[in-house]
Structure 1
């Protein structure tokens, strides 16, 4: 009977506490909800994007048993086709021309242009065959004419055309007018969002300059053939410029495009959840401190320690369940909003095809909810343990302020956690991801919070011997004498501040390094870039016209193409440019360029390329298109995460046989305005290429690149704002609860003659001091965590380095805001605590 009464009393006390302080409850729930929502939203958005991207890739690839692809967009010699068709075990081979293109026009949508042999494709990839519609094929009535094209439904929507209309398609540096003869055959499971254009293979080769070249071979296997033996025979028959591509390879390749980006966002979301855990700890600790007499009374009445511990953990469980449930709902809503605003890559620019469709994932929701509940329970354990171990008799007399100021707070747990964080930062990546780097950040965050009580007393102690006004002197002695109370308030401040500072320093360093890199990479006056010209760009005649334009003193042409080095890794970018005579002036080299041995073909690899493939200056490596080359230098590149290789233009042309160019950098005569030259450049381009041409001055390109950078880090900026808002709200809640818990202290001070104004100044001084301590400690810890992000997480994730740049105005403003918020909140809470009669405040001590 007594147990039932105690249980009812406990529930009544808990309900009363939550009704009396709803703000603290709301902050704790929101802290968990924000972390869960961010993690769940990042997961849903990336899952939707990957599913859409993989489905689009599957639609373009058709349903072949095995595919052979060229490693570069220029394709391979079509003589490979009969060799593959004669291999034992191959039932049929469908040769394919595959080009990236777009509809002509200023805002022309992107598409994939396929040239197929319908008779061969019917046996291998029937989903790629077009279906004629009525008289759309024209008067000749030939559905396989070289000027006939079949569009997918997504392509028809993008071009706003119907069967029978004429469309202008740009691909491989050429524009061609084609008649829409019908729609592509739709098979079950095909993605209706893939923009495809299919035409006869002979027409595609002739009209888009691919004569004698093929980009893909789709193979159907004979029944019962050994797949392993066939793949081995295929590998032996392929030239250096072709590779076998399996469905699982394509899936891994598409997933690896954004893996590091989405894992980093997910980890940042988990760090935000950890920060929420510290705020739950703060709220629970303050709630326990305020209710110590209640708990002591329950203990005297017969509640065991385990029962009290279970009650407080139950409160944490309720907070965790509420926060996790709200976080799952907010995460789904946030994912839907992000898909509409930023797209499936969260602004990272990894996916450009297909429309990502959001779907609710119950198991993922349960996983993130469980994380939120676990964080709430762990954060509630320490306050619950402290309440369970308190002596009831002492707690009944001392209220919420029991504690011996002579007790020294241990420094070693925090130092141990900080040391473990430093060691974790030195560990190598796991599975290509900086998992130890994020573990280091979590350990540093926990260590910084754990060492704060000792650090706060150590920093305040020297000031105690100085002469201060009475309110300030009382505030400093209070902070020195009650380090555990200061720790509760400081935990939320340090956690949120350090997280924000770490992300702000990393983003500022990254942005500044990118800006400096762009300034070094863009020394010319005007730049031309042809988009979607991987399989062919500006020919020799166009190059000559551009070089002869009035006002142009020099033109530097560049040819870029993606090259696949590994079947399950994204392509690297191979570029040919005038570089050998002065590589230091052409590329932002890291270190010097080595002398080239006689007869060797030199290349200069980007920093990500060197990182991913273990390359160093002086090595000799073999590239699929270029053969054996000598690594003469390494250069910094922030544009291509998976690597780039630069080689002399003449060596590039000799290796690939490609004489076209995709970029041009114009140096103008002194005093020549850029605008007339830009108009002349556009006029000199072949018809239709103007839609693919991007012509701009360096300042415009830098501004656009930085705008893309800011868009890709929009989620990070949002995390920064959320972190500081949670921190400020946590400061307000902590000081409010602490001040109200000291009502009897203020009443006794009033009896001794201290005026309310002096108590207000004491509280303001306490708040400002705690805000200063927490802000400075948070900034210092954030700077250390930023170095983990800059020196460990970014190199291991994206394979590039950067110089540290510190946002001093932001950090100074953050500390000032924390001091003002803490001081203001303490004063406002003190007014409430001092509003009652001073005699009533201490009546239970008589």
Structure 2
């Protein structure tokens, strides 16, 4: 046979089966679209983030970094004079809160005389010199005649001293556009609970598109934001004639405890490491959705092979070889995968563009909030997902092609031989081996911080469920399990079909098993996680009212005097001050969070090991999070060196606690110990325990009168808990979307299967019509068959989902995020979901079999081909 004839026989058959073909293509397209869209969104966000890193680091070869509190600027002179250093630039980075607005502005305090040698792209460009009236009264300037001001600006020379003025601020184009400010305008920022009014004195023209930041003189930044004598990093350019590794080691030897010297890319990698686990989890969910699409291809191709069984056998008898038949059927699957991949790629770029327009580069977890990425063509990612789409089509077509090639032509030419294709044998040995291998993979550690073996275990559990499906179907028949309504002839026929042709259940239920397992496992994991977070918030939020000047990373804080003013209020019974910082325990690892707070009484920690009741000893206690235990190999009773106040301080680990807020790890110490060892008296958060007769709203008004209306944030614990849980739910929006797609694909499989089954069982339905069954009875028979098949598939899927949920909770989440959670099973939700799936499957089968119900019984029986 010629190649053109083979193309017509195989590829053109897809056109004749337009509905199954369209559903298969759509299923693969949805899996490809979700996976590729996640990659495009994160790639755009990562590119924008890395452009920002490149802008901030410039030509620096190394950066000296500390924790959030920074380090003494006297170190700069010592580092800058080292023989390995060609140029050094001190930097004070501040996240400045805008009073009364839920926004912050990144401000870089720079030495303008040194920055040109390391990072000239951050050089500020002064605007033209403004009149004294404009400097002293920005509001009057804004109300003056615009044309006169523009003419005056053109005639005035640049203000060459603007970069050294204590109130001069230079905005990047993106920041100026977001804030709507021009040179000469003023901007109010917060330092502690004080407001600082700065003048926009120019711009940072080389900052690039999408980078929102501001630059000012470093001495002015230290003074304005109460950071006198503090730096957050030093950018270094090394001598060209020295090996970088040698220079790095020499510089590291000069650093006090708690500081690290890193290349800019490695320092940025610490921040990107927080996003990796989230991105990998979403990618794996998209891959499972694509896998479910592969099961749908399997169903449609298997049914197509059964329907054309005699046709293919006739071609074999005319001389078509097994190899050509194999290749032809695989080509059908590959074409389905290619078409689905192309459609999915187009959908992915559309979804990514919509996501960038709506939420930027953030997919709900908040890692890239504030970035403005741009969509670009990603050839490698696109081709990779096209290849995955083709692979899904080939994988789905492989078993049907193998079955068709192995079938003897003489046997397949017999009328009624189609039933042989549904006599699937139980694969208990394969299922047991797959389950055992999944259990062994769960014991292996992650690779590079990614739970690769955990994801493989998830795929093996899905495979185990599919392999066990025909055995479970036959087992139901062997055990003689009867249903309450199984006494009617139609119910008996449906049950006989189910147990006599278990392959039909496999073909129809493979996608259902995968989608139910995915949806059930995610429901259990999310419910367990949400319940654990809710319990955690209850323990972590014991106060009646919470007060802060800004979040822990921004420029607001409370002074001891302000804390005492709040304490003196008659409605306040007790205070819980909290101070946040970050420390570097190891120069090769990211900084960890340090939390100084009260740990006893109502403010206790959610411990998983150890105790809160530790007597005062020579070595103060510390409580470390699960993430820190996993990453540093710590245990109860171990000693921990914390660099406080530039000096290593020894602590003993008294407990291990559950922390859902900080992935890199956290350490809690008593506030009294922290202040005594560090000398830091500031407070970030303040929990207020009120007297029984106090009104929280009245207390909030009094505190605002003391501290100022726009420089303090107050919230009730119930509102704070609701806000955090809302953020939690938003984080899983994409997860829910992927679950919905997988379930939709499973229902596609049911509809496609029974649409094809009605065509392949025309003679059977015709005989049943002659025996007295009406078209309505045939419809009920299809409903019962689909309902019973879906019931078995849902049961197997729920069991598999329970296993996958355990892997997600105990392996993948633990290895990805280093936290534990209490198992919670949403029984009502799962029961409702299972019932809905069974009813939808029955309805889909009834609609798909409508043609069989309208079929002429005589013509159906006369068919013998």
Distance 2:12 2:211 in 1: 58
Q: How does 1:597-616 map to 2 (within 5 A)?
A: 598-616=617-635
- Secondary structure at the aligned position of 2:607 is classed as coil
Q: 1:102 aligns with which of 85, 97, 100?
A: 97
Q: CA deviation at 1:322?
A: 0.3
Match of 1:644 in 2: 666
1:297 counterpart (311, 314, 322): 314
Give the C-alpha shift of residue 409 in structure 1: 3.2
Between stretches 141-150 and 44-53, larger displacement belongs to 141-150
Partner of 1:149: 169
Q: Which moved more, 1:754-763 or 1:510-519?
A: 754-763
CA offset digits 1:738-784 (Å, max 9, x no partner): 12211111222333444444433332221221121111111111111
Cα distance, 1:600–1:89 mapped onto 2, change above 3 Å: same
Range that drifts further, 757-766 or 241-250: 757-766
- Corresponding position of 2:358: 341
Q: Helix, strand or coil: the match of 2:83?
A: coil
1:204 matched residue in structure 2: 221
Where 1:591 maps in the other structure, the secondary structure is: strand
Going from structure 1 to structure 2, the CA distance change for 1:826 and 1:133 (only over 3 Å counts) comes to closer
The structure 1 residue matched to 2:728, chosen from 702, 709, 730, is 709
Which residues of 2 match residues 453-492 of structure 1 at below 5 A?
453-463=470-480, 468-492=487-511
Among 696, 699, 702, the alignment partner of 2:715 is 696
Does the 8 Å contact 1:550/1:677 carry over to 2? no
Shift of 1:698: 0.8
Determine if contact 1:289/1:400 at 8 Å carries over to the other structure.
Answer: no
State whether residues 184 and 201 of structure 2, in contact with CA within 8 Å, keep that contact through their aligned partners in structure 1: yes
Q: Which residue of structure 1 lines up, in the alignment, with residue 152 of structure 2?
A: none
CA deviation map 1:694-731 (0-9, x unaligned) = 31001101110011011111100101111111111211
**Aligned residue number for residue 81 of structure 2:** 86
Q: How does 1:13-162 map to 2 (within 5 A)?
A: 13-14=9-10, 17-69=13-65, 71-107=66-102, 109-136=103-130, 138=132, 142-143=161-162, 144-162=164-182
Is contact 1:149–1:198 with CA below 8 Å preserved after alignment?
A: yes
Q: How does 1:235-246 map to 2 (within 5 A)?
A: 235-246=252-263
User: What is the DSSP-based 3-state SS (H/G/I as helix, E as strand, rest coil) of the residue aligned with 2:189?
Assistant: strand
Distance 1:763 1:498 in 2: 24
Q: Kindly state the Cα deviation for residue 584 of structure 1 after the two structures are TM-superposed.
A: 7.8
The alpha-carbon deviation at position 656 of structure 1 amounts to 2.4
Residue among 776, 791, 798 paired with 2:817: 798
Q: CA deviation at 1:9?
A: 5.4
**2:205 & 2:811 partners in 1: Cα distance?**
49
1:432-443 mapped onto 2 (5 Å cutoff): 432-443=449-460
Q: SS of the residue aligned with 2:169?
A: strand
- Give the superposition deviation at 1:211: 1.9
Partner Cα distance (2:421, 2:391) in 1: 32
Which position in structure 2 is the counterpart of 1:777?
796
Give the total of aligned pairs: 832
Question: Which residue is 2:445 aligned to?
Answer: 428
Question: Per-residue displacement from partner, 1:109-149 (whole Å, max 9, x unpaired)?
Answer: 42222222222223333333322211138579642222222
Instruction: Find the residue that maps to 1:624 and give its secondary structure.
Output: strand
Unmatched tracts of structure 1, length 5 or more: none
* Matching residue of 2:579: 559
Matching residue within 737, 746, 758 for 1:727: 746
Residues 461 and 341 of structure 1: CA distance in aligned 2, closer, same or farther (over 3 Å): farther
Q: Which residue of 2 aligns with 1:586?
A: 604
Cα distance in structure 2, aligned partners of 1:406 and 1:340: 52
Deviation at 1:661, TM superposition (A): 0.2
Q: Which residue, 662, 665, 670 being the options, matches 2:687?
A: 665
Cα gap change, 1:577 to 1:304, in 2 (>3 Å): same
CA distance in 1, matches of 2:618, 2:606: 25
Residues 132-181 of structure 1: CA deviation (Å, up to 9, x unaligned): 21113857964222222222222222332211122212245543112222
Aligned to 1:634: 656
Alpha-carbon spacing, 1:77–1:224, altered in 2? closer, same or farther (3 Å):
same
Match of 1:279 among 280, 290, 296: 296
Change (3 A) 1:673 1:217: same
User: 1:14 deviation in Å?
Assistant: 4.3
Conservation of the 8 A alpha-carbon contact between 1:252 and 1:568: no
CA contact (8 A) 1:100 1:532 kept: no
* Distance (whole Å) between structure 1 residues aligned to residue 777 and residue 87 of structure 2: 92
Q: 1:369 to 1:111 in 2, by over 3 A?
A: same
Indicate the SS of the match to 1:599: coil
Quick one: distance in 1 between partners of 2:118 and 2:5? 75
Deviations 1:453-497 (A, max 9, x none): 111111133337897221111111111111112211111211111
Taking a change above 3 Å as real, the CA distance of residues 86 and 290 of structure 1, as seen in their structure-2 partners, is same
| Cα distance change on mapping 1:691 and 1:797 into 2, 3 Å | farther
**Structure 2 vs 1, CA of residues 413 and 180 (structure 1 numbering), >3 Å: closer, same or farther?**
same
- Measured in 1, the distance between the counterparts of 2:803 and 2:501 equals 28
- Cα separation, partners in 2 of 1:133 and 1:757, compared to 1, 3 Å: closer
Task: Note the alpha carbon deviations across 1:312-339, whole angstroms, 9 max, x for none.
Answer: 1110111011011111111111122222
Is the 1:252–1:569 Cα contact (8 Å) retained in structure 2?
no
What SS does the aligned partner of 2:687 have?
strand
Task: Please list, as runs of the form range in 1=range in 2, the aligned pairs for 1:142-291 lying within 5 A after superposition.
Answer: 142-143=161-162, 144-171=164-191, 174-186=194-206, 190-291=207-308
Partners of 2:31 and 2:342 lie apart in 1 by 12
Equivalent residue, structure 1, for 2:145: none
Check whether the contact 1:317–1:376 (CA below 8 A) recurs between aligned residues. Answer: yes
- TM-aligned CA deviation for residue 618 of structure 1: 0.8
The answer to whether the 8 Å contact 1:114/1:199 transfers is: yes
Give a deviation string over 1:514-544, Cα, whole Å, max 9, x none.
1121122111110113325556721111111
For 1:381 and 1:528, locate their aligned partners in 2 and report how far apart those are by CA, in whole Å: 62
Is 1:537 the counterpart of 2:557? The answer is yes
- Paired with 2:476 and 2:342, the residues of 1 have a C-alpha distance of 41
798 and 316 in structure 1: CA distance in 2 versus 1, 3 angstrom threshold:
same
- Tell me the distance in 1 between the aligned counterparts of 2:422 and 2:248: 76
Q: CA deviation at 1:670?
A: 0.5
Deviation at 1:39, TM superposition (A): 1.4
- Please state how far the C-alpha of 1:821 moved relative to its aligned partner: 2.5
1:247–1:547 CA distance, 2 compared to 1 (3 A): same
Shift in CA distance, 409/533, structure 1 to aligned 2, threshold 3 Å: closer
8 Å contact from structure 2 (residues 750, 786) kept in 1: no
For 2:702, the equivalent position in structure 1 comes to: 680
CA, structure 1 residues 212+775, in 2 after alignment: closer, same or farther (shift >3 Å)? same
Q: 1:398-434 CA deviation, whole Å, 9 max, x = no partner?
A: 3452429988533222222222222222222111111
Q: Is the 8 A contact 1:556 1:665 kept in 2?
A: yes
Determine if contact 2:173/2:205 at 8 Å carries over to the other structure: no
What do residues 198-233 of structure 1 show as CA deviations (whole Å, max 9, x unaligned)? 222222222222222222223333442443333222
Deviation at residue 734 of structure 1 after TM alignment:
0.9
- How far did 1:645 drift? 0.9
Query: 131-140 or 780-789, which moves further after superposition?
Result: 131-140
**Secondary structure of the corresponding residue to residue 724 of structure 2:** helix
Give the drift of 1:603. 0.8
TM-score normalised over the length of structure 1: 0.94
Match of 1:813 in 2: 832
The 1:720/1:692 distance shift into structure 2, 3 A limit, reads: farther
1:827 aligns with 2:821: no
